[in-house]
A and B are shown apart, each in its own frame.
Chain A
Amino acid sequence: MSEPILEVEGLVKHYPLTRGVVFRKQVGAVRAVDGVDFHLGRGETLGIVGESGCGKSTVAKTLVNLERPTAGSIRYKGEDITRLSGKALKSVRRNIQMVFQDPYTSLNPRMTVGDIIGEPYDIHPEVAPKGDRRRKVQDLLDVVGLNPEYINRYPHQFSGGQRQRIGIARGLALRPEIIVADEPVSALDVSVQAQVINLMDRLQSEFDLAYIFIAHDLSIVRHISDRVAVMYLGRIVETGRDAEIYDHPTHPYTQALLSAVPVPDPEAREHRERIILSGDVPSPTNIPSGCRFRTRCWKAQERCALEVPALAVPAWFEAAGGPAAHDSACHFAATVPIRRSAPGQVVPPEERPGGTV
C-alpha cells in the first residue's frame, strides 16, 4: 500500500441531549460516530457504505472540519488536524475538500458559476493571483466537462448532473490531495450517474487524488473503491479490499446488506438467497450492549450481549489466509456462499449481451 496520507483513530462524535432551560443537564447523547479507525493512502479510494443513520456523513464532516470530533484523532500526513486552529488549520483544509450530495442546495443560487468555483481562491489567495482567476475557473470548467463559456451562468440554468460537475470543480479548485464525496451521485438519474462516476475516475488519475467515497449504493461503491468499510450504528463492522468485502463477506450485517441489493438480472430471481433482516436499526441514543448489531442478527448468542467484538482479522481466518482474512467485528465471523446469479449462468462480462458493464 502507498503511504497513508490520512489516518483516523478512535474517532468519536457524540451530540449531547439536554433537558431543562435554566438548569441544562445532559441526559444522554446521540452517539453518531462511536470509535472509528481507518486510513487512506495517496491516490487511493476508500468507500464507506452503510444505511441512513450509521454515521457515515458525520465522519465526512469531521474529516473536513465541519464538525469537531468529541474524541479521537485525524492525522493528515502525520499531523493531528483536530488540534489545529488558525493558519495551520487553514492550510490543511486546503488539501481536504468536499463534494456534497445535493447539487441543488449546495450551490448558492445568487452566485454565478464563476463566483462559486472561484470562491475558494478568495480564502486561499496564494493559489491563484487575482488576475489569473477567471482563466483558472474556465480551465476547471473544461476539466469537468462543462463549456468554459458558461462561467457567467447561474446554477438554475444547469441540470442536476451539470451542477454536480460544478460542485466537483469547486472541490478541485485548490488542487487538494483528498476529496471527501458524500453521496455525490445519489441525487442523479441513472444515465447521468455513470457520467459523473466516470468523471471522478478520470480526475483521480489525472490529479492523483485520494477519495473518501461515501454512499449507500453498494454497486457504485464497489465500482469506484479500492477498499471498502461497512458502517453500522457509528462503527465500522467490516473492512477490506473490494473483492474481500463483496465476494467474501464475513460479518452478518455485510452479508445481509449485500443479499438485499436488487440485482438487475431477472434470471437470478428464483435462485438468490436473501437474508431479510428483521426490525429496524436501534436508536443511536440507546446503543445495544456488546455487539451493536446483535438485536437484528440471526447468529446472536449470549456472548454477543456481553463482549464488544473488536474490528480485527478473526483468528480462524488469519491462520488459513485468503480473501476471508480481513477485518471483521464479529465473534462468529464466517463466510457464506454468495450467489447472485442463477447457477450455471454466471456469465463473464465480455459475453454478456450489452458488452462491458
Chain B
Amino acid sequence: MLLEVRDLHVEFHTRDGVARAVNGVSYGVDAGETLAVLGESGSGKSVTAQAIMGILDIPPGRITGGEVVFQGRDLLKLREDERRRIRGAEMAMIFQDALSSLNPVLTVGDQLGEMFTVHRGMSRKEARARAIELMDRVRIPAARERVRQYPHQFSGGMRQRIMIAMALALEPALIIADEPTTALDVTVQAQVMELLAELQREYHMGLILITHDLGVVADVADRIAVMYAGRIVESAPVHDIYKAPAHPYTRGLLDSIPRLDQKGQELYAIRGLPPNLMNIPPGCAFHPRCPLARDVCRSDEPPLYEVSPTRGSACHFWRECLDE
C-alpha cells in the first residue's frame, strides 16, 4: 500500500460544541490505483484528505486518533518541517476552486516555477523552462507566451489544468483531488478528467478522488469508499457497488440520481437530512433515514462487515440490502 489511513479521528472545537467530523476512517490506495471517496457535504471526505496532507487548520481542528501511513512512515508522527518536504514533492493536492487556490498577483509561471526553486533548488531561469514544459504537458496552448500571464487571464478549465500541472510538477507518488471538476462545465470537465486519468497512468501515481458525483466515479475509479457522518459505510470495487450496493445509503444515493438515458417517474429520495456532526445519532448514524432500520441499529454501531475479501459494508443488514 502506498498510503494507508487507519482509524482516523478528527474533531473541531467550536463555540457551540465539538463537531466530530471524522470518526474512525480507514482506507488505502496503491500506486497506480484510483480510489474515489464519495460523500455529501459534511461527510468528512475533505477533512480526511486535509489530515492526510497535513493542511488541517489546528485549532479548531484536532486529530484525536489514528495513523496515516505513507510509504511506510506514519505522517502524523513527523515534525512539521519533515511533513513540508513530503507535501508537494511526494504527495500533492488539487482543489476544487482553482481561482481561489492560485495566487492572483503572481504569474502562473512564477507559481509553477516556485515548486522547482523551493523543492529542487533550481535557478529562476531553469524553473521557468520547467514551468513551460509542464504547461505543454497539460496541453495549455501557447505555453511559452501564457507563462507570463496571471490566473484571471485563464478560463476555468485552463486554471484547473494549471492546478494539475502544479500538483504533477515534482512527480509525486500520490495525488489527492478534491472535487477537481465540480466547478467546471461538463464539456470541460470531460477534458480535465481525461487529462488527469492519462497523467496518472503515465506516472503510475496513486489517486484519491474526492467527489459527490456518482457519474464521474463510475468513469474513472477502481475502488470506492462511501462516507457518511465521518465514517466509511461501504468500501468496494467500482463494478460491485453499481451492480448491487451493500449499504442502504449507497443504494439511496444511486437511486436518487436522475438518469440521462431514461425518463424516470418519481425519484427515490432519501428521507430526512444528513446528521448534525455535533450530535450524531447513536448506533448507526444513518438509522433515522434508513428504510431497513431496526432496534439494533439504534443501539449498536455497525462495524465494517466483510461482504467479500475486497468489500466491506457498515450495515447490520447488508445481506438484506444486497439481496433487495
Which residues of chain A from 238 to 278 have any CB-CB distance to chain B below 8 Å in the complex? Answer: 242-243, 246, 256-258, 260-269, 274, 276-277
Residue of B nearest to A202 (CB): B266
Which residues of chain A from 302 to 357 have any CB-CB distance to chain B below 8 Å in the complex? Answer: 340-341, 349, 353-357
Residue A284 lies at the interface, judged by CB distance under 8 Å to chain B:
no
Q: Are A357 and B257 in contact (CB under 8 A)?
A: yes
Say which size band chain B's interface belongs to: 35 or more
Given A266-B242, A267-B239, A269-B218: A195 and B269 interface contact (C-beta under 8 Å) = yes
Which residues of chain A from 179 to 209 have any CB-CB distance to chain B below 8 Å in the complex? Answer: 189-195, 197-198, 201
A265 to B218, CA, bound (A): 6
B184-215: CB near A (< 8 Å → 1, else 0) gives 01111111011000000000000000001111
Residue B216 lies at the interface, judged by CB distance under 8 Å to chain A:
yes
Which residues of chain B from 258 to 295 have any CB-CB distance to chain A below 8 Å in the complex? Answer: 258-271, 273-274
Residue B143 lies at the interface, judged by CB distance under 8 Å to chain A:
no
Residue A90 lies at the interface, judged by CB distance under 8 Å to chain B:
no
Residues of B with C-beta under 8 A to A349: 262, 264
By secondary structure, the A interface counts as: helix
Question: Which of A52, A219, A354 is within 8 Å of B260, CB to CB?
Answer: A219
Say which one of B22-30, B58-66, B81-89, B244-252 lies at the interface with A: B244-252
B143-168: CB near A (< 8 Å → 1, else 0) gives 00000000000011110000000000
Residue B255 lies at the interface, judged by CB distance under 8 Å to chain A:
yes
Residues of A with C-beta under 8 A to B101: none
Residue of A nearest to B251 (CB): A354
Question: Which of B191, B255, B261 is within 8 Å of A276, CB to CB?
Answer: B191
Given A189-B40, A280-B157: A223 and B258 interface contact (C-beta under 8 Å) = yes
Q: Are B194 and A276 in contact (CB under 8 A)?
A: yes
B261 to chain A, nearest CB (A): 5
Q: Are A280 and B188 in contact (CB under 8 A)?
A: yes
Residue B243 lies at the interface, judged by CB distance under 8 Å to chain A:
yes
Q: Are B258 and A277 in contact (CB under 8 A)?
A: no
Residue B103 lies at the interface, judged by CB distance under 8 Å to chain A:
no
Residue A218 lies at the interface, judged by CB distance under 8 Å to chain B:
yes
Q: Are A191 and B256 in contact (CB under 8 A)?
A: yes
| Closest A-B pairs by Cβ, 8 of them | A262-B215, A223-B258, A194-B256, A51-B185, A260-B190, A189-B40, A194-B269, A191-B270
With A223-B264, A262-B189, A264-B218 known, 19 other A-B pairs at CB within 8 A are A159-B274, A195-B270, A197-B258, A218-B186, A218-B260, A219-B215, A222-B259, A222-B260, A222-B263, A243-B263, A261-B186, A261-B215, A262-B193, A262-B218, A264-B214, A277-B187, A280-B158, A354-B245, A355-B255
Give me the interface of B with A, judged by CB distance under 8 Å.
40-41, 155-158, 185-191, 193-194, 212-219, 221, 238-239, 242-245, 251-271, 273-274, 324
